[in-house]
Structure 1
Amino acid sequence: MEFSFSREQEDLRSSVKDFLSRRSGSEARNTILKSGYAFDRELWKTMAQQLGLQGLAVPEAADGSGAGFIETSIVLEELGRDSYAGPYFSTIAASWVLEHGDDAASERLRSLAEGSRIFTLAIADEGGTWSRPGHSTRAFEVGDEHRLTGRKVNVTDADTADEFIVIASLPQGPAWFSVAADAEGVTVNVRESLDITRPIGHLEFHDVKATLVVGPQDAAAVLAEVNDKAAAGLAAEMVGGAQAALDQSVRWSLERTQFGRPIGSFQAIKHMCADALVEVETARLLTEYAAWAIEEKAPDASVAASMAKQAASDAFNLAAGNNIQIHGGIGFTWEHSAHLYFRRAKASSTLYGTPQGHRARIADLLAV
């Protein structure tokens, strides 16, 4: 198979890259370094209304563009390259559940596409994982409505979201529900995250009103789809971050001099950059294939998603770690953006499965 991006897809990449260079970029990273994470809602609305990024993969029937997963991965890669601090991944991940819902879910997709509401997924119970959430969060039918009680952990952008898309157990099996963040009985506990560009929180639900989005008959299949797309999407984001860390390393190695010559001329530095380049390009190829496989519903889409996630995790950790080493003492200071890449690499590696977990999943899927 020969794969290449279309002109429209390349134009999308250029538009996103140009927009981020003008509206986000180093200035936003410096603000985070000095003042901590602060979500820019005006930038969020501009992304939705001028570029249509939130509605990129939303069906046209819900006022989206109806684009595919390849386009989504392109945007995520550019956002990762920019170290964008905002709930784009979280909201897009929620749309993968909402697109399986009814007319009420379509209205939520419309608000998502126009940038007026922010969503995130709440999957793992205490002791659970993204692929095996657990059964301690329970939902019950009370008259004509559902009530939900339980606790969800490691929820991305929990304090930014207007609405949570929650998987919980009904007596008939797991199902997906929508819960308003300001509903009575919802408690959001934000925890200090290693990645200061992506807050993580825990949620507590105490007899909270919930709206059914996907019933027990389809919930498990939707969860499997979400996990594949999340792994591949995060891989794209991490490839962008890894490339940015590598680019920063190369720029510094050409600017910084020791003993009257650029440090990039030293063999040890050359090897560090070359090793990172090999890992980044390998991860990029696997990530692009995973995006294609998911969009085409290829039989090996799940394997491809896990291969991309573990390779991107390894590449990002290597590129970000080498970046700090190449910068030397200045790279270890909190004032330098090198540690933002390192923090994001470590944190993103654990989201929706660690590299070790995905390698084990690959072995299981291939029956090795």
Structure 2
Amino acid sequence: MLALLSDEQQMLKEVAAQIAGSAGPANPGDLRTLDRAAAWRSLAQSGLLALRTRDGGSPAGSGVEVAVVAEALGAGLVPVPYLGSAVLATELLALAGAHDEAEVLAEGGSRTGVLLDGDLSALAVLPGDETVYGWDVDGADGALALTGVRGGYQVVRVSLETGFVPVPGADLTRTLLRSDGPVGAASPTPVGSPLSAEDLWRWEALALTAIAADTVGVMRAAVARAVAYSKERVQYGVLIGSFQAVQHMCAEAYVQAEASASAVNYAAWAVDELEPAEALLAARTAKAQCASVAREVTETVMQVFGGIGQTYEHIAHVHTRRALTDRQVLGDEGVQLLRIADVRLTGE
């Protein structure tokens, strides 16, 4: 593969970056006043919510294009449920053949999220005894999960209007809901046709790649902020960027972020170009790489900012919080590496 964006993809990147620049917070206080509905409308009007809808069987946008948008919104810390509704939920609906419902989400008039298990490491399978979480469900009235059926899994919709309560999470830019008890078997409504194992592999490949791309955006933007600050902050009469220790910290963070970007680029290409099992393996590799360095990179940035970087009023910790949650959703590096080992050692 050639890891270069086409002219159209470059334009998409610029549009997404422009929206992210106007819709993201400059400081944590902005998260209380940003017009999230306007940001969502901008994404819908630009067609960015429709990338995984199907036209004639093929997605309108490739995994590469989804990753481009996810990275831009992660870089801007944009507090809208792009991953939850436009990627994870829309892809599930499309794979299940519920194209009309996917089109409704693409228009931006309604939102649907996904339910994750108790440690956020997998899509929830109902009924279950454990608590489930609705992740990235800002403005959503329902969320998707799975139930087991003969030969595969059935996508089901669960209402979020009752039985769920908001809970504080590390990530200040996304909404997290928790079920206040087990989600019963009678409540979920089946959606579309059952999914095969290969369908779920394809879905998970896209989901892991998109989350990893968001993490790359968070890390790259955080490092860029730290480098810019080191070029203007004067201490002991000189710029802190002249200190070798600061240079080494920024350089190491940059290398880790760019290594993650390389892994994501390949995984994004693989989503639609390789067989589901191989695409999933590439996505697990990208997620493991991003998850293993996300905390170190973003906490290094907080250190470069010094004392102000440790305060609530500074934006640095918002990067760290979003990266930490991205790391956990659908499994951290430990989960991914164990599953990669299972495939490599047992072929399963």
**TM-score, scaled to structure 1:** 0.85
Report how many aligned residue pairs link the two structures: 341
Match of 2:141 among 147, 162, 165: 162
Aligned to 2:322: 344
Aligned to 1:106: 99
Report the CA distance between 1:332 and its aligned residue: 0.6
C-alpha distance in 2 between matches for 1:296 and 1:281: 23
Report the CA distance between 1:254 and its aligned residue: 0.9
Do the aligned partners of residues 275 and 176 (structure 1) sit closer, same or farther apart at CA in structure 2, a change above 3 Å counting? same
C-alpha distance in 2 between matches for 1:110 and 1:364: 37
| 8 Å Cα contact 2:52/2:60 also seen in 1 | yes
C-alpha distance in 1 between matches for 2:329 and 2:191: 26
Q: Which amino acid aligns with 1:94?
A: A
Do the aligned partners of residues 39 and 173 (structure 1) sit closer, same or farther apart at CA in structure 2, a change above 3 Å counting? farther
Aligned to 1:276: 253
SS in 1 for 2:155: strand
| 8 Å Cα contact 1:189/1:202 also seen in 2 | yes
Report the CA distance between 1:314 and its aligned residue: 2.9
Aligned to 2:335: 357
Q: Higher strand proportion, which one?
A: 1
1:117-266 aligned at under 5 Å gives the runs 117-124=110-117, 126=118, 129-130=121-122, 133=124, 136-137=127-128, 153-158=132-137, 160-170=139-149, 174-182=153-161, 186-203=162-179, 205-206=183-184, 207-208=186-187, 210-215=189-194, 218-266=195-243
C-alpha distance in 2 between matches for 1:39 and 1:130: 31
1:10-49 aligned at under 5 Å gives the runs 10-21=10-21, 23-27=22-26, 29-32=28-31, 35=32, 40-49=36-45
SS in 1 for 2:96: coil
| 8 Å Cα contact 1:158/1:188 also seen in 2 | no
Aligned to 2:47: 52
Cα deviations across residues 293-347 of structure 1 (Å, max 9, x unaligned)?
1120246322211111111123332221111111111001000000001111111
1:66 paired to 2:60: yes
Cα deviations across residues 134-155 of structure 1 (Å, max 9, x unaligned)?
5534xxxxxxxxxxxx765132
Aligned to 2:6: 6
Aligned to 2:311: 333
SS in 2 for 1:300: helix
| 8 Å Cα contact 1:39/1:86 also seen in 2 | no
Do the aligned partners of residues 363 and 170 (structure 1) sit closer, same or farther apart at CA in structure 2, a change above 3 Å counting? closer
**TM-score, scaled to structure 2:** 0.90
C-alpha distance in 1 between matches for 2:154 and 2:120: 16
| 8 Å Cα contact 1:123/1:152 also seen in 2 | no
Moved more, 222-231 or 247-256: 222-231
Do the aligned partners of residues 127 and 248 (structure 1) sit closer, same or farther apart at CA in structure 2, a change above 3 Å counting? closer
Between the aligned residues of both structures, percent identity stands at: 27
| 8 Å Cα contact 2:230/2:304 also seen in 1 | yes
SS in 2 for 1:208: coil
Cα deviations across residues 221-245 of structure 1 (Å, max 9, x unaligned)?
3333222211111111110100011
| 8 Å Cα contact 2:13/2:72 also seen in 1 | yes
Do the aligned partners of residues 177 and 162 (structure 1) sit closer, same or farther apart at CA in structure 2, a change above 3 Å counting? same
Report the CA distance between 1:113 and its aligned residue: 0.9
Report the CA distance between 1:165 and its aligned residue: 1.3
| 8 Å Cα contact 2:71/2:216 also seen in 1 | yes
